[in-house]
Amino acid sequence: MRRLSPLDHLISQLDSALLTLKTKGATTARPNPAEDETCDDLTDQEQKHIAGLMRINHTGEICAQGLYQGQALTAKLPEVRAQMEQAAVEENDHLQWCKSRIEELDSHTSILNPAFYALSFGMGALAGKAGDKWSLGFVAETEHQVLKHLDSHLSQMPSKDQKSRAILEQMKEDEAHHEEVAKQAGGADLPLPIRLGMGLISKVMTTSTYKI
Protein backbone atom coordinates (compact mmCIF):
# COMPACT_ATOMS: atom_id res chain seq x y z
CA MET A 1 0.00 0.00 0.00
CA ARG A 2 1.38 3.40 -0.99
CA ARG A 3 2.28 5.67 1.91
CA LEU A 4 0.44 8.96 1.83
CA SER A 5 2.58 12.05 1.45
CA PRO A 6 2.00 15.22 3.50
CA LEU A 7 0.30 16.69 0.42
CA ASP A 8 -2.00 13.66 0.23
CA HIS A 9 -2.98 14.16 3.86
CA LEU A 10 -3.58 17.86 3.28
CA ILE A 11 -5.83 17.19 0.28
CA SER A 12 -7.72 14.55 2.26
CA GLN A 13 -8.29 16.97 5.14
CA LEU A 14 -9.47 19.73 2.81
CA ASP A 15 -11.91 17.29 1.23
CA SER A 16 -13.20 16.26 4.67
CA ALA A 17 -13.62 19.90 5.65
CA LEU A 18 -15.62 20.74 2.52
CA LEU A 19 -17.84 17.68 2.93
CA THR A 20 -18.45 18.58 6.58
CA LEU A 21 -19.37 22.19 5.86
CA LYS A 22 -21.73 21.05 3.09
CA THR A 23 -23.16 18.36 5.42
CA LYS A 24 -22.32 15.65 2.92
CA GLY A 25 -19.84 13.50 4.85
CA ALA A 26 -20.07 9.73 5.24
CA THR A 27 -22.75 8.53 7.67
CA THR A 28 -23.82 5.25 9.27
CA ALA A 29 -27.01 5.37 7.16
CA ARG A 30 -29.17 5.21 10.27
CA PRO A 31 -32.73 6.45 9.72
CA ASN A 32 -33.55 9.95 10.90
CA PRO A 33 -35.18 9.61 14.36
CA ALA A 34 -37.68 12.32 13.38
CA GLU A 35 -39.09 10.39 10.41
CA ASP A 36 -42.01 8.80 12.23
CA GLU A 37 -42.60 11.63 14.70
CA THR A 38 -45.11 14.46 14.55
CA CYS A 39 -45.03 18.18 15.10
CA ASP A 40 -48.26 20.06 15.72
CA ASP A 41 -48.65 23.63 14.53
CA LEU A 42 -46.01 25.91 15.97
CA THR A 43 -46.34 29.61 16.55
CA ASP A 44 -43.90 31.84 14.68
CA GLN A 45 -42.04 32.48 17.92
CA GLU A 46 -41.78 28.77 18.75
CA GLN A 47 -40.60 27.93 15.25
CA LYS A 48 -37.93 30.63 15.37
CA HIS A 49 -36.71 29.51 18.79
CA ILE A 50 -36.55 25.84 17.84
CA ALA A 51 -34.68 26.69 14.64
CA GLY A 52 -32.16 28.64 16.72
CA LEU A 53 -31.63 25.69 19.05
CA MET A 54 -31.21 23.27 16.17
CA ARG A 55 -28.79 25.69 14.48
CA ILE A 56 -26.67 25.62 17.66
CA ASN A 57 -26.72 21.82 17.59
CA HIS A 58 -25.80 21.77 13.90
CA THR A 59 -22.81 24.02 14.52
CA GLY A 60 -21.90 21.86 17.51
CA GLU A 61 -21.70 18.89 15.18
CA ILE A 62 -19.56 20.91 12.75
CA CYS A 63 -17.24 21.53 15.71
CA ALA A 64 -17.27 17.82 16.59
CA GLN A 65 -16.23 16.95 13.04
CA GLY A 66 -13.37 19.42 13.18
CA LEU A 67 -12.30 18.08 16.56
CA TYR A 68 -12.34 14.42 15.55
CA GLN A 69 -10.69 15.03 12.18
CA GLY A 70 -7.94 17.09 13.79
CA GLN A 71 -7.34 14.40 16.40
CA ALA A 72 -7.31 11.61 13.83
CA LEU A 73 -4.61 13.51 11.94
CA THR A 74 -2.23 13.63 14.92
CA ALA A 75 -3.25 10.61 17.04
CA LYS A 76 -0.28 8.37 17.74
CA LEU A 77 -1.94 4.96 18.20
CA PRO A 78 -3.80 3.39 15.24
CA GLU A 79 -6.66 2.21 17.46
CA VAL A 80 -7.17 5.74 18.79
CA ARG A 81 -7.13 7.14 15.26
CA ALA A 82 -9.74 4.52 14.26
CA GLN A 83 -11.93 5.55 17.22
CA MET A 84 -11.77 9.18 16.16
CA GLU A 85 -12.69 8.34 12.59
CA GLN A 86 -15.63 6.14 13.64
CA ALA A 87 -16.92 8.81 16.02
CA ALA A 88 -16.73 11.35 13.20
CA VAL A 89 -18.94 9.14 11.00
CA GLU A 90 -21.52 8.79 13.77
CA GLU A 91 -21.48 12.56 14.38
CA ASN A 92 -22.22 13.06 10.67
CA ASP A 93 -25.59 11.41 11.29
CA HIS A 94 -26.34 14.17 13.79
CA LEU A 95 -25.14 16.80 11.36
CA GLN A 96 -27.53 15.68 8.65
CA TRP A 97 -30.47 15.23 11.02
CA CYS A 98 -30.03 18.75 12.41
CA LYS A 99 -29.73 20.31 8.97
CA SER A 100 -32.85 18.49 7.77
CA ARG A 101 -34.85 19.75 10.75
CA ILE A 102 -33.59 23.31 10.27
CA GLU A 103 -34.75 23.24 6.66
CA GLU A 104 -38.16 21.91 7.72
CA LEU A 105 -38.41 24.92 10.03
CA ASP A 106 -37.68 27.23 7.06
CA SER A 107 -34.44 28.45 8.60
CA HIS A 108 -30.72 28.36 7.84
CA THR A 109 -27.47 26.94 9.19
CA SER A 110 -24.92 29.32 10.70
CA ILE A 111 -22.63 31.40 8.48
CA LEU A 112 -20.02 31.05 11.24
CA ASN A 113 -19.58 27.31 10.66
CA PRO A 114 -16.26 27.59 8.72
CA ALA A 115 -14.66 29.59 11.53
CA PHE A 116 -15.83 27.19 14.23
CA TYR A 117 -14.73 24.18 12.18
CA ALA A 118 -11.23 25.64 11.76
CA LEU A 119 -10.97 26.43 15.47
CA SER A 120 -12.12 22.95 16.46
CA PHE A 121 -9.78 21.27 13.97
CA GLY A 122 -6.83 23.17 15.42
CA MET A 123 -7.80 22.28 18.98
CA GLY A 124 -8.22 18.62 18.02
CA ALA A 125 -4.84 18.50 16.29
CA LEU A 126 -3.13 20.06 19.32
CA ALA A 127 -4.85 17.59 21.64
CA GLY A 128 -3.66 14.72 19.45
CA LYS A 129 -0.12 16.07 19.51
CA ALA A 130 -0.19 16.25 23.31
CA GLY A 131 -0.75 12.51 23.50
CA ASP A 132 -3.56 10.02 23.12
CA LYS A 133 -4.64 10.10 26.78
CA TRP A 134 -5.12 13.87 26.54
CA SER A 135 -6.78 13.57 23.15
CA LEU A 136 -9.27 11.06 24.54
CA GLY A 137 -9.74 13.21 27.64
CA PHE A 138 -10.54 16.13 25.38
CA VAL A 139 -13.21 14.03 23.65
CA ALA A 140 -14.72 12.95 26.96
CA GLU A 141 -14.90 16.53 28.26
CA THR A 142 -16.33 17.81 24.96
CA GLU A 143 -19.07 15.19 25.01
CA HIS A 144 -19.78 15.96 28.66
CA GLN A 145 -20.37 19.61 27.82
CA VAL A 146 -22.47 18.70 24.77
CA LEU A 147 -24.71 16.57 26.98
CA LYS A 148 -25.40 19.57 29.21
CA HIS A 149 -26.39 21.63 26.16
CA LEU A 150 -28.70 18.89 24.92
CA ASP A 151 -30.41 18.64 28.31
CA SER A 152 -30.93 22.40 28.27
CA HIS A 153 -32.36 22.34 24.76
CA LEU A 154 -34.68 19.45 25.53
CA SER A 155 -36.03 21.37 28.51
CA GLN A 156 -36.83 24.30 26.19
CA MET A 157 -38.37 22.22 23.40
CA PRO A 158 -42.19 22.36 23.19
CA SER A 159 -43.72 18.95 23.82
CA LYS A 160 -45.68 19.22 20.58
CA ASP A 161 -42.43 19.20 18.56
CA GLN A 162 -41.69 15.50 18.77
CA LYS A 163 -39.52 15.68 15.64
CA SER A 164 -36.85 17.87 17.19
CA ARG A 165 -37.07 16.06 20.51
CA ALA A 166 -36.48 12.68 18.84
CA ILE A 167 -33.32 13.96 17.15
CA LEU A 168 -31.94 15.47 20.35
CA GLU A 169 -32.73 12.34 22.38
CA GLN A 170 -30.80 10.13 19.93
CA MET A 171 -27.93 12.60 19.85
CA LYS A 172 -27.84 12.55 23.65
CA GLU A 173 -27.61 8.76 23.68
CA ASP A 174 -24.78 8.77 21.13
CA GLU A 175 -22.80 11.52 22.87
CA ALA A 176 -23.02 9.70 26.21
CA HIS A 177 -21.65 6.59 24.48
CA HIS A 178 -18.77 8.54 22.95
CA GLU A 179 -17.90 10.02 26.34
CA GLU A 180 -17.86 6.59 27.98
CA VAL A 181 -15.77 5.03 25.20
CA ALA A 182 -13.20 7.82 25.46
CA LYS A 183 -12.94 7.35 29.23
CA GLN A 184 -12.62 3.57 29.00
CA ALA A 185 -9.91 3.95 26.34
CA GLY A 186 -7.76 5.86 28.83
CA GLY A 187 -8.87 9.46 28.52
CA ALA A 188 -7.31 11.66 31.20
CA ASP A 189 -9.23 14.21 33.24
CA LEU A 190 -8.39 17.64 31.85
CA PRO A 191 -7.06 20.39 34.15
CA LEU A 192 -9.69 22.85 35.40
CA PRO A 193 -8.38 25.85 33.37
CA ILE A 194 -8.74 23.87 30.14
CA ARG A 195 -12.28 22.76 31.05
CA LEU A 196 -13.23 26.34 31.87
CA GLY A 197 -11.71 27.55 28.59
CA MET A 198 -13.68 24.96 26.63
CA GLY A 199 -16.84 26.09 28.41
CA LEU A 200 -16.16 29.71 27.47
CA ILE A 201 -15.62 28.84 23.79
CA SER A 202 -18.83 26.79 23.88
CA LYS A 203 -20.71 29.78 25.31
CA VAL A 204 -19.44 32.02 22.51
CA MET A 205 -20.53 29.43 19.93
CA THR A 206 -24.04 28.93 21.32
CA THR A 207 -24.69 32.66 21.75
CA SER A 208 -23.49 33.65 18.29
CA THR A 209 -25.02 30.83 16.24
CA TYR A 210 -28.51 31.03 17.78
CA LYS A 211 -29.28 33.86 15.35
CA ILE A 212 -26.57 33.74 12.70
Binding site residue list for Fe cation: 61, 91, 94, 143, 175, 178
CA distance 64 to 145: 12
Count, residues in the chain: 212
3 state SS for the chain: CCCCCHHHHHHHHHHHHHHHHCCCCCCCCCCCCCCCCCECCCCHHHHHHHHHHHHHHHHHHHHHHHHHHHHHHHCCCHHHHHHHHHHHHHHHHHHHHHHHHHHHCCCCCCCCHHHHHHHHHHHHHHHHHHCHHHHHHHHHHHHHHHHHHHHHHHHHCCCCEHHHHHHHHHHHHHHHHHHHHHHHCCCCCCCHHHHHHHHHHHHHHHHHHCCC
Known binding residues are 61, 91, 94, 143, 175, 178
